[in-house]
Structure 1
Amino acid sequence: MKGSWNSRSIIHITLPFLLFFIYNFTAVFTAPARHLCHPVQRDALLTFKNEFEIKKPCLDGIRPKTESWAINSDCCDWDGITCDTKSWEVIELDLSRSCLHGRLHSNSSLYKVKNLTTLDLSYNYFSGHISPSIGNFSHLTTLDLSKNYFSGWIPSSVGNLSHLTILDLSGNDFIGELPSFGSMNQMNLLSVEFNKLSGNFPHSLLNLEMLSDLYLSHNQFTGTLPSNMSSLYNLEYFEAWDNSFSGTLSSSLFTIPSLTYVDLRDNQLKGTLEFGNISSPSKLTSLVLGNNNFIGPIPKSVSKLVNLQDLDLSRLNTQGPVDFSVNHHLQMISQLYLSGCGITEFPELLRTQKKLTNLDISNNKIKGHVPGWLWTLPTLNFVDLSYNMFIGFERSTKLGLSMQYLVGSNNNFTGEIPSFICDMRSLITLDLSSNNLNGVIPHCMGNLKSNLSFLNLRQNRLSGDLPNNTFASLRSLDVGHNQLTGKLPRSLIHFSTLEVLNVESNRISDTFPVWLSSLKHLQILVLRSNEFHGPVHQASFPTLRIIDISDNHFNGTLPSNYFVNWSAMSSLKANEDRSKEKYMGDSFGYYHDSMVLTNKGIEMELVRILKIYTALDFSGNKLEGEIPRSIGALKELHVLNLSYNAFTHHIPSSMGNLTALESLDVSQNKLSGEIPQELGSLSYLSYMNFSHNQLVGLVPGGTQFRRQKCSSFEENSGLFGPALDEVCRDIHAPAPQQHEKSKPEEEKEEVVSWVAAAIGFGPGVVFGLTIGYILFSCKQEWFMNVFGRNERRSSTMLKAKSRFKTQAARRGQ
């Protein structure tokens, strides 16, 4: 009885579970099979994949999406692929940041995947022209080809993509005029910035009634901006900086009720600023109009921009005293740029700007003292006072805690470095260069050791020893052109992040700091014009790009293998020449390192130092013996100066390996033998000087040798050859009386010859960039504005893209 009860209980308990199992087991095998992607599309995508190479290493270590693509798997499961849930057709292809490299040909299999709604090939290495076949993707809502190497004209067929809401072609090499976009009535975002586009403002854009984001910056557009910009009544973001737009700026732009962000800096706009009948309150938060040709006072209507956070009126020709009372209602300002506006007094209205973070009043005519209340503003973190006529700082008893960047260079500051600066413990950059500061560098600056990254005190009258503080975050230390004495502090060995050390033109007496070779990030070392002495001991400087130890008292010989481990001068790292950060300095563009360098026989100032620029200057010492053969390993070296030493023996033939060399100076030594014929094949070598040695034999016949001046070979005992005949006729013959020159005339000849060399050897890539330094120095604010705001601008655009994609996804649900 008891056993029977147990059997029945077991049946009652297990039967429901058995039925449940059978039901689900049947359901599995009777459920409709999941459709795979269409074989035609799968094959087309695999063919497309094989049209390109994967260029590694990828940015940020990202895994290329096409690596998951395999013929024996469902393409709807591949990375970067989205299929329609009903038809299982591929409708979205996102291969952004996939390291793909190659030309996108007009017969690419990509064009066989015709029902795409999204095509994103951004941040790759695609090149070539865009085929008119792109217009056959009639269902596209998003087309993103940004940050590639596409070139040529943008095909007119793009204008046929009437469903597009996002079109991003930025960061390529497109040329010519924009095609007509008049039929793209759904367009929300259009970006063609950072190309080489030209022509007038495309008036067809005024028909895009849904357009909210328009980015035209960094092209070659000309002509005037339309007077009826207000027809774009949904426009929120408008950027067209760094073009050649001219004429007046229509006030109708500012009547657009949704307008939030305007950036038109670095154009040729002119006339007076007028903001018209601004809707009240205006939504405008950023107004960036700096570096144009506007004239007249700051308009009173700017006071209606009550939500304004970012105002840039740099180089506004105010034509008289600036009335800042018009800005009384602007209490939301966080970034204010008034560089080069003719301001003569410190703007008192700043005292009430409690949200101010960035202040640039550089390149004005402000005299007197910097007011102490400035440092009490609670959120202020960036101040540029450079190129004014300040004479001192008022002491502040209360300091804000957020100050990070203080630039006060090129003023008339006198006295000692203010001690209250030592209390700005958040400082990242301190630049007080080119003033009349004296006294010692205060030891209290050690208070800044945790955050200070850039310290520039060059061209003052500072004296005493360098302090023995340790700065954990310091990347650049420049104290050149002062009156410092003593030795280099051994605490420098603990500056583990140091990239630049410049102590030129002081009175420092020490031996060669071989111990600095332990600094793994040191890229620039400048010891020139001091009292360093003794041998230049062998050391490994794998990251050093520029070393200048000229005009000291170094002596002794250099071992043959001296330069073996100087890796940074020997080769470039992968993609190093394509880095976004092209210049030595901070990543925001607020500060750039600079230095003086003797190049092509002339002492010049590099106001920007390219990260790929290399130079080695050992001139003006007492070095002797052979020039090390290992010098030939420095294949990325651009400038080599060994003049005014006592080197002997032959010029090493290994110098023929210096394929990037532009300037070579071995004059005023005791070199003998022949000039190596290998030097004749160095196509970038536009300046050379072999004078005042004991050289003999045939001068190499390369084109560059034939274009040197005769003084580059004079005072040698037996040089000859056709190349020499062209420039000197007979170097041994005494010069005729009428050709004898005084020293000033010779110096003038050198300058003229250097200019001629610059014209004659333009193909030298890095030489052109070096000249660029001088050109760029004339547009100092342009550099700060462009690079200082790119990160914020990119962030704005990324947010806009994200916003539109989210909206599109919601519409698709």
Structure 2
Amino acid sequence: MGFYLLSLSQLLSSILFLFHFQTTISSSNNSSPSHFCAHDQSVSLLQFKASFSINSSASVNCQHPKTESWKQGTDCCLWDGVTCEMKTGVVTELNLACSLLYGTLHPNSTLFSLRHLRKLDLSDNHFKSSHISPQFGQFSNLTHLNLNYSVFAGQVPSEISLLSKLVSLDLSKNDNPGLEPISFDKIVRNLTKLRELDLDSVDMSLVAPNSLTNLSFSLSSLSLRRCGLQGKFPGNIFLLPNLETLDLSYNEGLTGSFPSSNLSNFLSVLGLSNTRISLYLENDLISNLKSLQYMFLGNSSIIRSDLTLLGNLTQLTSLDLSDNNFSGQIPSSLENLVQLSYLDLSNNNFSGQIPSSLENLVQLSSLDLSNNNLSGQIPSSLKNLIQLTNLYLSNNIFSGQIPSSLGNLLQLRRLYLHFNNFNGTIPSSLFALPSLQYLDLHSNNLRGNISEFQHDSLSILDLSNNNLHGTIPSSIFKQEYLEVLILASNSKLTGEISSSICKLKSLQLLDLSNNNLSGSMPLCLGNFSNSLSVLHLGMNNLQGTMPSTFSEYNSLQYLNLGGNELEGKISPSIINCTMLEVLDLGNNKIEDTFPYFLEALSDLQILVLKSNKLQGFVNGPAAYDSAFSKLRIFDISDNNFSGPLPTRYLNSLEAMMALDHNMIYMRTTNSTDYVYSIQMTWKGVEIDFEKIRSTIRVLDLSVNSFTGEIPKVIGKLKALQQLNLSHNSFTSHIQSSLGNLTNLESLDLSSNSLTGRIPTQLGGLKFLAILNLSHNQLEGPIPTGEQFNTFTANSFEGNLCLCGFQVLKECYRDGDQEQSLPPSSYNEGDDSTLFGDGFGWKAVAMGYGCGFVLGVAMGYIVFRTKKPAWFHRMVEDTWNLNKKKTRKKVGRRN
């Protein structure tokens, strides 16, 4: 019994001890934060948190705001991203990478009171172009500083050089901050313990590459991509014994020579893409790069190369040899690179077939062979690359059918096969790929129907410029994440456009042009989501009206509804499209007056309203001082506009007054990167411009009922390349100011009622290739000049009083005696330059002819009016005057 009592006593003691221990632990965990975390540290962190908002778009790679766990009254050493020194409770590490922080980091931020920090990571947040504060220099114990990808701007302060204990410094991929030579020199001299330095996208254009010579001997990683470095890169950096990563890519002005020997045995990353650093891809170099895992030599200065040697770099996981003009067949030795996950051989001149040996690269996730001269069929062996997520084979000369075996690549997200010669139908297996996001098969010879998609993962679909037919599959309108839909130029696509298309809330680009679609246009397209920037439904058979309501704050930049059967009016709500750059409503049946409210669209560059039923004056209230100031193409031809030309508009066409030497294609300014296209009459021929250069300037007002003189102000439009005022009712003379249009290539003033002479100033238009002045009432000699001598009679027909070799009429001359033509009815410029050399017998004959016609006409009037008194008096007075003169002459002779 005593034994049991003793055991019971011991048990009770044990229970009491455990209870006391648990209470102590519980009390410890719920005690004041100051027990572990210093109170001032907690306050500073909470104030730092309060200075920022949480924004889901502030971080790219995550959606977890670490500061959510930061709550007053809790131990800050247990907060996400916070590490403390347990003895003192001070914060020594702060990792807020990818924490959705949004706001400005001010110099007086409480962050800078955490003086004991040894590691600080603020990467992948959004600090709204905050400057990198000099206060960072106060963290004297800091060994790691990472401000990568957090939208910092301004100059990198020289105070960073005070962080003498830094082992790792990453200021890369921000809002193009700058680094002055003095600051950089201090950094490389004082940070003697630095092993990792990443300054990608920091502007170092003023820094001499030679200053890199002082970098730490222990440096293991150096990344200076896109820094604007120019000049010779110091060769000793290549030979640092501990170097593992060296990336100098995208410094186009960087020169030097990469050594073939004495390289670090640890080098695993080499990036020289888009530099002018020469490199000999030969045996000596390859034998020194046995540890290399990443080789980026796209658009580099490879002097000599033996690509078969690359098969010896068996540790490679990424290889980029794009843009290097390599030719011949793809070396089969690449089959040895069994660790390879990324291979880019694009933009070269490789020819032949894809080697079947590539099937050995079973780890490959991205294969880019685009923009070469590869031919034949896609080998079915590619089906073995089951890890492939990206396959780029565009811009080659592949033929045959697209193999259905590509449907075995279940991980495939991007498939680009455009600009080849593929024929046959699109394999249905492609429409069943579960992860497919980007499918681009445009510009081939594919035919047949478009199958229904089995999954809703699509983001980009481009099947344009093929021979596909049938209706648009309903499954396309169920793609929740679809951003780009291009089915243009498949002339046999029929049916109606389902209103379900407006459910695609992520859509940014919609191009269904040049098909045979019918029915009414979905009016909901005007109230589309704010994401849509391109809407091209032109060249179809759509009926009804254009959308009558356009939502506010929309993102439309390109709107083309031309070439349909649309009726009704142009909605004034289109001015809600404040970003609009192209508006094409031509070749419809729109009945309206000129939409002067379009003046409000300050970014409008192309306006096409041709071939409709528009009427009235082209004018409006002077609400905007710079109406249409950015217009490069203005085409309102083939309507029924009347009255004089609007000089107010002509005076404000600033883009037609200034030359553009950029020679780039006009395109959207957002991520869609859509190149503008337009159908236009160019030099008398209707042409589909699939791309429009920014240099083009066109003013086409032809086939209307405009009256009055051609305004002199047109001569201010010095960048014009094409001017068409034909088939109107213009009168008076041709303005000599048109001679100021020195870039003009085509001028058409035909079928008007223009009189007078052709200004000789037009003879100085050196680029004028097309001239049509036919069917007017012009007279006198045709100007001579380099271009005028090339024009035929067709340019001047229907002007009976013109002379010159072009119309096979000699400009009259009678011996040495010349007689000036009567002065012109206008006095603009130097009249003497407009006259010919004088009269000849032909001119006299022409004068008699014209006089004969006039005499007959007057005789007829006299006969019909029975000798009206005014005419009788005029003749009688003239007769008496001549009689007196005759008598005086006779008297003198006598």
> Which TM class, normalised by the smaller chain length?
0.5 to 0.7
1:112 to 1:478, Cα distance in 2 relative to 1, 3 A: closer
Letter of the structure 2 residue corresponding to residue 534 of structure 1: G
Q: Tell me which residue corresponds to 2:581.
A: 499
Q: CA shift at 1:402, angstroms? A: 0.3
Q: CA shift at 1:458, angstroms? A: 1.4
Output one character per residue of 1:236-263: Cα deviation in whole Å (capped at 9) or x when no partner: 4444556654322123224324433333
1:261 aligned to 2:358?
A: no
- 8 Å contact kept, 1:427–1:451: yes
* Equivalent in 707, 727, 752 of residue 624 of structure 1: 707
- 8 Å contact kept, 1:423–1:447: no
Output one character per residue of 1:573-618: Cα deviation in whole Å (capped at 9) or x when no partner: xxx7559x73224645663321122223333221111234221111
Letter of the structure 2 residue corresponding to residue 555 of structure 1: S
1:731 to 1:217, Cα distance in 2 relative to 1, 3 A: farther
Q: Tell me which residue corresponds to 1:611.
A: 694
Letter of the structure 1 residue corresponding to residue 415 of structure 2: L
Tell me which moved more, 583-592 or 622-631. Answer: 583-592
Whole-angstrom distance in 2 between the partners of 1:231 and 1:614: 56
Q: Tell me which residue corresponds to 1:357.
A: 437
- Count of residues paired in the alignment: 620
Q: Tell me which residue corresponds to 2:639.
A: 552
Whole-angstrom distance in 2 between the partners of 1:204 and 1:665: 67
Secondary structure of the structure 1 residue equivalent to 2:425: coil
Secondary structure of the structure 2 residue equivalent to 1:688: strand
Letter of the structure 1 residue corresponding to residue 538 of structure 2: R
* Equivalent in 393, 399, 418 of residue 478 of structure 2: 399
Q: Tell me which residue corresponds to 1:270.
A: 351
Q: CA shift at 1:652, angstroms? A: 2.9
* Equivalent in 308, 314, 334 of residue 227 of structure 1: 308
Whole-angstrom distance in 1 between the partners of 2:378 and 2:298: 25
Whole-angstrom distance in 2 between the partners of 1:710 and 1:219: 56
Whole-angstrom distance in 1 between the partners of 2:223 and 2:436: 41
1:194 to 1:253, Cα distance in 2 relative to 1, 3 A: same
* Equivalent in 776, 784, 809 of residue 693 of structure 1: 776
Whole-angstrom distance in 2 between the partners of 1:594 and 1:405: 17
1:634 aligned to 2:713?
A: no
Q: Tell me which residue corresponds to 1:139.
A: 236
Output one character per residue of 1:147-183: Cα deviation in whole Å (capped at 9) or x when no partner: xxxxxxxxxxxxxxx9994444665799xxx978645
1:85 to 1:483, Cα distance in 2 relative to 1, 3 A: same
- 8 Å contact kept, 1:81–1:93: no
1:300 to 1:512, Cα distance in 2 relative to 1, 3 A: same
1:637 to 1:255, Cα distance in 2 relative to 1, 3 A: farther
1:524 to 1:318, Cα distance in 2 relative to 1, 3 A: closer
- 8 Å contact kept, 2:434–2:455: yes
User: Percent identical across equivalent pairs?
Assistant: 33
Letter of the structure 1 residue corresponding to residue 190 of structure 2: T
- The TM-score with structure 1 as length reference comes to 0.65
- 8 Å contact kept, 2:774–2:799: yes
Q: CA shift at 1:630, angstroms? A: 2.1
Alignment of structure 1 residues 296-335 onto 2, 5 Å? 296-314=376-394, 320-325=400-405, 327-328=407-408, 330-335=409-414
Secondary structure of the structure 2 residue equivalent to 1:421: helix
* Equivalent in 453, 457, 470 of residue 537 of structure 2: 457
Whole-angstrom distance in 2 between the partners of 1:703 and 1:274: 57
Whole-angstrom distance in 2 between the partners of 1:78 and 1:403: 47
Whole-angstrom distance in 1 between the partners of 2:568 and 2:591: 6
1:482 aligned to 2:561?
A: no
1:626 to 1:208, Cα distance in 2 relative to 1, 3 A: farther
Secondary structure of the structure 1 residue equivalent to 2:707: strand
1:526 to 1:221, Cα distance in 2 relative to 1, 3 A: farther
Whole-angstrom distance in 1 between the partners of 2:225 and 2:481: 41
* Equivalent in 409, 416, 421 of residue 501 of structure 2: 421
Secondary structure of the structure 2 residue equivalent to 1:491: helix
Whole-angstrom distance in 2 between the partners of 1:385 and 1:648: 51
Q: CA shift at 1:266, angstroms? A: 4.8
Alignment of structure 1 residues 13-412 onto 2, 5 Å? 77-78=182-183, 82-85=187-190, 115=213, 134=232, 137-140=234-237, 165-168=246-249, 182-183=260-261, 185=263, 188-191=269-272, 193=274, 206=286, 209=289, 226-241=307-322, 245-276=326-357, 281-282=362-363, 284-314=364-394, 320-325=400-405, 327-328=407-408, 330-339=409-418, 340=420, 342-364=422-444, 366-372=446-452, 374=453, 377-386=455-464, 387-396=466-475, 399-411=478-490, 412=492
* Equivalent in 571, 586, 597 of residue 680 of structure 2: 597
1:398 to 1:638, Cα distance in 2 relative to 1, 3 A: closer
Whole-angstrom distance in 2 between the partners of 1:634 and 1:184: 64
Q: Tell me which residue corresponds to 1:48.
A: none
1:397 to 1:171, Cα distance in 2 relative to 1, 3 A: closer
Q: Tell me which residue corresponds to 1:566.
A: 653
* Equivalent in 581, 598, 605 of residue 523 of structure 1: 605
Q: CA shift at 1:532, angstroms? A: 1.3
Q: Tell me which residue corresponds to 2:743.
A: 660
Whole-angstrom distance in 2 between the partners of 1:434 and 1:119: 48
Q: CA shift at 1:75, angstroms? A: 8.3
Whole-angstrom distance in 1 between the partners of 2:284 and 2:746: 51
Secondary structure of the structure 2 residue equivalent to 1:482: coil
- 8 Å contact kept, 1:224–1:245: no
Secondary structure of the structure 2 residue equivalent to 1:532: strand
Whole-angstrom distance in 1 between the partners of 2:693 and 2:296: 28
- 8 Å contact kept, 1:366–1:390: no
Secondary structure of the structure 1 residue equivalent to 2:738: helix
1:138 to 1:359, Cα distance in 2 relative to 1, 3 A: closer
| Higher relative contact order, structure no. (Cα contacts within 8 Å, ≥ 6 residues apart) | 1
1:468 to 1:242, Cα distance in 2 relative to 1, 3 A: farther
Letter of the structure 1 residue corresponding to residue 462 of structure 2: D
Secondary structure of the structure 1 residue equivalent to 2:573: helix
Whole-angstrom distance in 1 between the partners of 2:747 and 2:279: 44
Whole-angstrom distance in 2 between the partners of 1:700 and 1:648: 20
RMSD: 4.6
1:473 aligned to 2:570?
A: no
1:445 to 1:87, Cα distance in 2 relative to 1, 3 A: closer
- 8 Å contact kept, 2:335–2:361: no
Gaps of 5+ in 2: 1-150, 160-178, 216-221, 813-894
Letter of the structure 1 residue corresponding to residue 351 of structure 2: K
Secondary structure of the structure 2 residue equivalent to 1:434: coil
- 8 Å contact kept, 2:470–2:495: no
* Equivalent in 521, 542, 546 of residue 629 of structure 2: 542
Q: CA shift at 1:448, angstroms? A: 2.8
Whole-angstrom distance in 1 between the partners of 2:394 and 2:636: 40
- 8 Å contact kept, 1:586–1:592: no
- 8 Å contact kept, 2:188–2:214: no
Tell me which moved more, 234-243 or 682-691. Answer: 234-243
1:517 to 1:222, Cα distance in 2 relative to 1, 3 A: farther
Gaps of 5+ in 1: 1-59, 69-73, 102-108, 143-161, 734-813
Q: Tell me which residue corresponds to 1:754.
A: none
1:665 to 1:251, Cα distance in 2 relative to 1, 3 A: same
Whole-angstrom distance in 2 between the partners of 1:223 and 1:391: 53
* Equivalent in 580, 583, 598 of residue 666 of structure 2: 583
Whole-angstrom distance in 1 between the partners of 2:564 and 2:707: 30
- The TM-score with structure 2 as length reference comes to 0.60
Letter of the structure 2 residue corresponding to residue 432 of structure 1: L
Q: CA shift at 1:516, angstroms? A: 0.9
